[in-house]
Amino acid sequence: MNTFDKICACLAVALGAVFILRGLAGLFIGWKINFTFSPILGGIPALVGWGIIKPVIIAWKKPPDSSPAAAALEPTAPSPVEGDQK
């Protein structure tokens, strides 16, 4: 991941953490924004937050050269021609 990707990932984790914390609180006491979640449905934002954070965790742990885009950019060795083999 380059620097821009890491900055975006950190912002996504912060946003996801807000959703998780609000969702966990909403699970027990509800959550009122423009509409009101009941106490059980108030946990839904926690699932949204986890959905934001989990892909960031996976992407952060991957080695830099394991992405399909990186594999496509790597030069490949030319295949040997039959007449050139000794």
Predicted confidence at residue 21, as pLDDT, reads 86
Helices (H), 1-86: 3-29, 44-61, 68-73
Position 51, amino acid = G
Mind listing the pLDDT tens digit for each residue in 14-64?
888 888 888 888 888 876 766 677 787 777 778 888 888 888 888 888 776
* Range in 5-9, 26-30, 37-41, 68-72 with the lowest mean pLDDT: 68-72
**Between 80 and 29, residue with greater pLDDT:** 29
Domain ranges of the chain: 3-66
**Could you tell me which of 11, 1, 6, 3 has the C-alpha nearest to residue 67?**
1
- Rg (alpha carbons) of the chain, rounded to whole number: 23
Question: 37 CB contacts (<8 Å, ≥6 apart)?
Answer: 26, 30, 31, 44, 45
pLDDT given for residue 15 in this prediction: 85
pLDDT of residue 24: 85
